[in-house]
Amino acid sequence: MDVFVRKFTGKITGWLAYGYAKTQRTADTLTFPPSHDRRHTLNVVMQAPGPLRGQLGVRLGFGSPLPYTGIVGQWLHRNYNSELHVFDHFETESVSREINGERFPFYARIDVGLRWRVEKWGGVLRPYVQVVNVLNRKNVWVYAFDYDQVPPTRSGLSQLPFLPAVGVEFEF
């Protein structure tokens, strides 16, 4: 189900989009939610007059938790040496729970941008300042587990961090 509302008039314009979805996959006898099974998705985009006669843009993104497969241990996947009949090397691999049986924390991000428009040198200059992920929320990209130590730990990588950018466009 999708809902889309847009405002065209007034000083403040923008739109709101909401989506509700539920997805399942079946492989052989196994049914599980795929990695993109996100129940709720909300995007709010707003434009308004900014300082110094610029234009302010704000975008809010929210996503309910995505599934991932939980890790409960690590095993040594050994390499068999057929010449000598020994296992002589190994690779450490994860032991998982049921497929996509757990969920990451929810996703949320706010981006803010300011743009100006100046006619110059026979063209149009558009300087801008923007910040991605203003609140520096660490939205999870991937987890990494270490069960080879006591106590076991979880680390990982997040998606885009607080990311400021400055630039200028010139149209002629």
Partner 1 sequence: MNRRMLRTRWLAAALLPLAACDLDEVTVPVGEEILVVHGIMRPDVPPRFSGFQFIAVERAFSGARGRPGPLINPITRDTIHAARDTMAIPHGGELAIPVKGATVEVVNLDDAAGPCAGPVTFTDHGDDGVYWSPLGCPSMRPGDRLALRVETLEGELVTGQTRIPGMDSATIAISGVVGTIDPAQRFTINRDSDTLRVVAYARAGRLLQLEVRRQGDIRDFGTKLLADTTALTVPGDLINTFVLGDEDDVFRAGRDYVVTVAVTDTNYFDFVRSSNNEFTGRGFINRLTGGIGVFGSMVTATTQVRAIAEIDDPREGRYRVQGVLQDTISVDVEWELYLARPVGQTEYSAFVQGRWLYGDIATSADGSFDDDVFSMVVTDTLVVVRRDTLLGTWVGNQEWSVTVVAACTVAPEGLRPGQVDPCAPERRLLGTLRVTRQ
- Note the residues at the interface with partner 1 (CB under 8 A): 68-97, 99, 138, 140-161
Give CB contacts under 8 A, 24+ apart, made by 47-53.
47/12, 47/13, 47/14, 48/11, 48/12, 48/13, 49/11, 50/114, 50/115, 51/114, 52/116, 53/116
User: Nearest 5°: CA angle at 170, between 164 and 172?
Assistant: 165
3 or 95: CB nearest partner 1: 95
* 53 secondary structure, DSSP code: G
Q: Shortest distance, CB of residue 34 to partner 1, whole angstroms?
A: 12
Strand partners, 11: none
13 or 92: CB nearest partner 1: 92
47 or 133: CB nearest partner 1: 133
Q: Shortest distance, CB of residue 143 to partner 1, whole angstroms?
A: 7
152 or 167: CB nearest partner 1: 152
Q: Shortest distance, CB of residue 8 to partner 1, whole angstroms?
A: 34
Strand 2-7 vs strand 30-32: parallel, antiparallel, or unpaired? unpaired
Q: Shortest distance, CB of residue 101 to partner 1, whole angstroms?
A: 11
